[in-house]
Amino acid sequence: MTATDRDARLDALVDRLPDGMVVTDPDIIEGYRRDRAADPDAGVPLAVVRPTTTEHVRIALRWANEHTIAVVPRGAGTGLSGGASAVEGGIVLTTERMRALAVDPVTRTATVGPGLLNAEVKAAVAEHGLWYPPDPSSFEICSIGGNAATNAGGLCCVKYGMTTDYVLGLEVVLADGTAIRLGGPRLKDSAGLSLTKLFVGSEGTLGVITEVTVRLIPPQPPRSTIVATFESVDAATEAVLAIVREMRPAMLEFMDRTSIRAVESVLNMGLDTTAGALLIAQSDSPGDDRARETTRMTELFTAGGASEVFATDDPADGESFTAARRFAIPAMEKIGPLLLEDVGVPLPALPTLIDGIEQIAERHAVTCAVIAHAGDGNTHPLIVHDPTDPEQTARAQRAFGDIMDLAISLGGTITGEHGVGRLKKAWLPDQVGEDVMELSRRIKSALDPSGILNPGAVL
Ligand SMILES: Cc1cc2nc3c(=O)[nH]c(=O)nc-3n(C[C@H](O)[C@H](O)[C@H](O)COP(=O)(O)OP(=O)(O)OC[C@H]3O[C@@H](n4cnc5c(N)ncnc54)[C@H](O)[C@@H]3O)c2cc1C
């Protein structure tokens, strides 16, 4: 395509949308080329399109379909798997300006524009005495559209479930510009195929989510927090199994020594940097059950060999430990760029997975911290590497691959919550099998026959 052809095509889109909605300034475009995975292979898009209504999204997709131009949907760009990497010569369609919000306290639902941040939704529904539970660590910077598109998880999933458990309805614009409504503010609905769920976690490959209706629940009861340090990772992971065997904590998080040290070096909050691992657990059970669970978790940690156990009912103290855990990724990013894993296994295999990750890091001589939503069996090995050093990067990439192979061999998954994106795509067939890949490709081509939606991601 010549530059003139390209300009003529883009002019056709500029003409159909309000002034300023199609951005071609290279400096601005640069800021939309990558998500937090910092994919080195991200392309340079023709333009960034910033719609404010569903109709604008329809216009952009009709135009892209007419000219067979790739469209990469984008929320807040906090993704960790390269799902929002720009495609050369395509457009990035960001939903960040679609920020409508309506809360219905009677049905206990909120209907939300995809561009609202998770934290904004939580705050808005709290004004109605309601709670939207899904809580990725990035909740202050990621969008609800991105959460739905990746089926985001978080810290309270162990008790309260993932984004998909709260999505009751979606409005989606398909590749040909058709807008469809799926589900809605109905707490029960068995009509037809479960198409709403098909789009949750579809990572921008099947349609652009332009509205999300989410289920809300009464506010979370007060929480107690128990923090335990262990000399060895094995003792900590065995303590995780001891707890989930008996109860459903409201949070059960793991940090290894490398991540504890990275967080402590920035936050200076007095974490024990000699510990091999740290667990943070919470109980929010009603009435006396909270105290009972707190006591029992303390007993189980102690019996499991914890060197120190600290329990508190003070919400501010509890939040400071939770914030420390949330800060682990930014703290490790200060050491160097990360290859970020998201592997998960059935819970009994958690100790084997974390042991195996340590061995892989040693074998490839890479620095790798491990944090985990341990109560879900979902771990985030964070491999530090220097992208300007090809030999080190190659070692980091081999470790990255070996960790996914290990998770698959343990009956696990290559991604518990971040999505496949571009970085984990090569391992998807090994996890799901060729028959499932073929079925997925048939669904993709039925909805997006020209393959314009997020090409190169997932499939
Ligand atoms: C410090 C840090 C901590 C994190 N912790 C967690 C965590 O605990 N749990 C977790 O699950 N994730 C976590 N993440 C990852 C990330 O925040 C989530 O994946 C989040 O859901 C991405 O939302 P986003 O708005 O930034 O989406 P983006 O990064 O912009 O996009 C993510 C994917 O969704 C697609 N997409 C975005 N919006 C739409 C739309 N409207 N329609 C269709 N497709 C769309 C994109 O094409 C892309 O494939 C973390 C990230 C960081 C930086």
- Tell me, what CATH number does 191's domain have? 3.30.465.10
Q: Residue 354 falls within a domain, yes or no?
A: yes
**Is the CB of residue 162 below 6 angstroms from any atom belonging to ligand 1?**
no
Q: Residue 372 falls within a domain, yes or no?
A: yes
Closest CA to 228 of 284, 173, 272, 162: 272
**Is the CB of residue 77 below 6 angstroms from any atom belonging to ligand 1?**
yes
CB 319 within 8 A of CB 269: no
Q: Is 315 helix (H, G, I), strand (E, B) or coil?
A: helix
Token pair 């978080």: residue: 154
For ligand 1, atom 28: residue with the closest CA: 77
Among 159, 186, 215, identify where a domain stops. 215
Distance 340 CA to ligand 1 centre (A): 13
Residues 116, 85 share a domain: no
Among 48, 66, 94, identify where a domain stops. 94
Residues 363, 236 share a domain: yes
Residues 158, 286 share a domain: no
Distance 277 CA to ligand 1 centre (A): 27
- In this predicted structure, what is the pLDDT of residue 54? 98
Distance 147 CA to ligand 1 centre (A): 5
- In this predicted structure, what is the pLDDT of residue 1? 63
Q: Is 232 helix (H, G, I), strand (E, B) or coil?
A: coil
- In this predicted structure, what is the pLDDT of residue 4? 74
**Is the CB of residue 169 below 6 angstroms from any atom belonging to ligand 1?**
no
Residues 348, 240 share a domain: yes
CB 382 within 8 A of CB 368: yes
**Is the CB of residue 113 below 6 angstroms from any atom belonging to ligand 1?**
no
**Is the CB of residue 98 below 6 angstroms from any atom belonging to ligand 1?**
no
Residues 175, 125 share a domain: yes
**Is the CB of residue 78 below 6 angstroms from any atom belonging to ligand 1?**
yes
- In this predicted structure, what is the pLDDT of residue 281? 98
- In this predicted structure, what is the pLDDT of residue 177? 98
**Is the CB of residue 204 below 6 angstroms from any atom belonging to ligand 1?**
yes
Please report, to the nearest 10 degrees, the dihedral formed by the alpha carbons of residues 197, 344, 368, 81 taken in order. -20
Residues 146, 56 share a domain: no
- In this predicted structure, what is the pLDDT of residue 103? 98
**Is the CB of residue 136 below 6 angstroms from any atom belonging to ligand 1?**
yes
Q: Residue 431 falls within a domain, yes or no?
A: no
**Is the CB of residue 35 below 6 angstroms from any atom belonging to ligand 1?**
yes
For ligand 1, atom 50: residue with the closest CA: 138
Q: Residue 450 falls within a domain, yes or no?
A: no
> How many domains is the chain built from?
3
Alpha carbons 254 and 244: distance in angstroms, whole number: 14
- In this predicted structure, what is the pLDDT of residue 404? 98
pTM over 0.85: yes
Distance 141 CA to ligand 1 centre (A): 9
Residues (pLDDT < 70) of the chain are 1
- In this predicted structure, what is the pLDDT of residue 6? 72
Distance 329 CA to ligand 1 centre (A): 14
Residues 61, 23 share a domain: yes
- In this predicted structure, what is the pLDDT of residue 111? 98
The arrangement of strands across the sheet holding 251-256 comes to: 308-312, 224-230, 277-283, 251-256, 367-373, 378-384, 338-340
Among 364, 385, 409, identify where a domain stops. 409
- In this predicted structure, what is the pLDDT of residue 8? 86
Residues 292, 181 share a domain: no
Residues 264, 137 share a domain: no
- Domain assignment of residue 383, given as a range: 224-409
- In this predicted structure, what is the pLDDT of residue 89? 96
Q: How many CA atoms lie within 13 A of 411 on its CB side?
A: 7
Alpha carbons 158 and 152: distance in angstroms, whole number: 13
Residues 196, 127 share a domain: yes
Residues 147, 260 share a domain: no
Q: Residue 441 falls within a domain, yes or no?
A: no
- In this predicted structure, what is the pLDDT of residue 40? 92
**Is the CB of residue 201 below 6 angstroms from any atom belonging to ligand 1?**
no
Residues 90, 228 share a domain: no
Q: How many CA atoms lie within 13 A of 153 on its CB side?
A: 25
Distance 204 CA to ligand 1 centre (A): 11
DSSP state for residue 219 in the 8-state scheme? P
**Is the CB of residue 256 below 6 angstroms from any atom belonging to ligand 1?**
no
Among 118, 334, 418, 428, name the best residue to mutate to test ligand 1's pocket (greatest count of ligand atoms within 8 A of Cβ): 418
Among 150, 170, 444, 453, name the best residue to mutate to test ligand 1's pocket (greatest count of ligand atoms within 8 A of Cβ): 150
